[in-house]
Amino acid sequence: MKYIITILLAFIFITGCSKKSDEKPLTEANKYQIDSSDIKTQPIENQNESFTLQYKLGKGKTYKYRLTTITNDSQSITADTTINSNIKQTIIYLISLTPVSTDKDGITEINCVFNSVKLNALANGQEYNYESTTNIDSLERNKFADYESLINSDIGIRISKTGEIIEVFRTDKIVNKFLSIKGIADSISAAQKEQLKTNMVEGAVKPLLFQIFRQMPDNSLAKDSTWTYSQPASQLMVYQIQNTNTYRINSIEKLNDSKLAVIEGGMLTKVTGDDQISERGISYRFKKPETSASGKIYFNITDGCIQKARTNTSINIFYTMEGKTPQGFQKGSKQENISNSYFLERL
């Protein structure tokens, strides 16, 4: 959907389970009700005990999560006049995970189902709304085909005990549904279809799963343990961006009968590249982008999964341009701020 912005920043850090007594049962009235607050826990007495952060999802159990992504994008382009653009988008996903098997190496195969999606967006004063559980006409289905194709499609994933997503498979159903809604199932080549599947997995499905399965160290940890995770270098305008996520265990807490590791996250960014380029007679001068990220993860040591997490990221971009155009010599600038918030809740 061209008018809806979906931004997955390269530097994001990147239930049949027993119900907790302080959790509200999921109903139609509250299933999209976001809770971004801290978990109400009690500190355990021995803060020096060691543990591992391993995923150990029980075979046959269903783990349910609510994942909320909130994006704000504001732009200001100045030339002869100033054009301002503002977009705010909130998407809420309800996701079910059912482990099928775990092999001798600790690799777990999981059936993943996106049960429903709700989207609200405000783009330059125009409002857009979508909810997968409501009846919509063919025009609306076509408009929101990205989400319609995702709903109730049984996806297979394989993860390691440290949370590494090894494989995402059984995604043909998503692609076929998307092509059917768009009415182009018979006019696309096998190569194009395969490329579309890759784009959907890498650009849509995996970034959402990365919020549920954060890769953890495989060694023994304790309070104040720290570790880092370097992300692959990425290109942003004229710059090479190298992000390194940083993590620290702040405390060990108790939630009913479960022990939780409370993890604080941050990010270090290295930006390299030339600040100036010329293209087709236009000179551009860039200011190095300013990035930031922070987060908090509650890892349930007892159950072997993330209990709750929140992440905030932002990036500021600014550059100027000047040169000869068909309308004569012109100067201009662009300022853009993009912020993302992610809230993951185990239900």
Nearest to 89 by CA among 66, 117, 68, 120: 120
pLDDT tens string, the chain, 347 residues long: the values are: 333 333 333 333 333 333 343 445 677 778 999 999 999 999 888 888 999 999 999 999 999 999 999 999 999 999 889 999 999 999 999 999 999 999 999 999 999 999 999 999 999 999 999 999 888 999 999 999 999 999 998 999 999 999 999 999 999 999 999 999 999 998 999 999 999 999 999 999 999 999 999 999 999 999 999 999 998 999 999 999 999 999 999 999 999 999 999 999 999 999 999 999 998 889 999 999 999 999 999 999 999 999 999 999 999 999 999 998 777 888 999 999 999 999 999 99
pLDDT of res. 16: 33
User: Which two three-digit tokens encode residue 212?
Assistant: 């549920």
Q: How far is CA 19 from CA 27, 172, 311, 326, in A?
A: 14, 34, 24, 66
**String of b and e for 113-151 (b: at least 16 CB within 10 Å)?**
bbebbbbbbebeeeebebbbeeeeeeeebebbbbbbbbb
Give how far Cα 281 sits from Cα of 81, 103, 182, 318, 332, Å: 21, 60, 40, 20, 14
At residue 327, the pLDDT reads 76
> Rounded to an integer, what distance in angstroms lies between the CA atom of residue 330 and that of residue 328?
6
Amino acid at 96: S
Both structure tokens of 105? 């190496």
| Distance, CA of 313 to CA of 295 (rounded, Å) | 9
Q: What is the pLDDT of residue 47?
A: 84
How many Cβ atoms sit within 10 Å of the Cβ of residue 297? 23
- Contact between 74 and 337 (Cβ < 8 Å): yes
pLDDT for position 129? 95
The DSSP letter of residue 205 is I
Query: What per-residue confidence (pLDDT) applies to 198?
Result: 94
How far apart CA 339 and CA 311 sit, in angstroms, is: 11
Q: What is the C-alpha separation between 144 and 138, in angstroms, rounded?
A: 10
Domains and CATH numbers, the chain: 49-346 (2.30.230)
- Strand spans (E) along the chain: 42-43, 63-78, 82-102, 108-123, 126-131, 155-159, 165-169, 226-230, 234-236, 239-255, 258-272, 276-279, 282-300, 305-325, 328-346
Size (the chain), residues: 347
Amino acid in position 124? N
pLDDT at 15: 33
Could you tell me the CA-to-CA distances from 253 to 23, 213, 246, 287, 330 in Å, in that order? 17, 20, 21, 43, 60
Q: In this predicted structure, what is the pLDDT of residue 14?
A: 36
For residue 43, the model assigns a pLDDT of 85
Helix 172-182 and helix 190-200, axial crossing angle in degrees, nearest 10:
110
d(CA 134, CA 141): 11
Tell me, what's the pLDDT at 263?
A: 98
The helix (run of H) or strand (run of E) holding residue 211 is helix 206-212
pLDDT for position 4: 39
Radius of gyration of the chain (CA): 22
Query: What is the model's pLDDT at position 10?
Result: 33
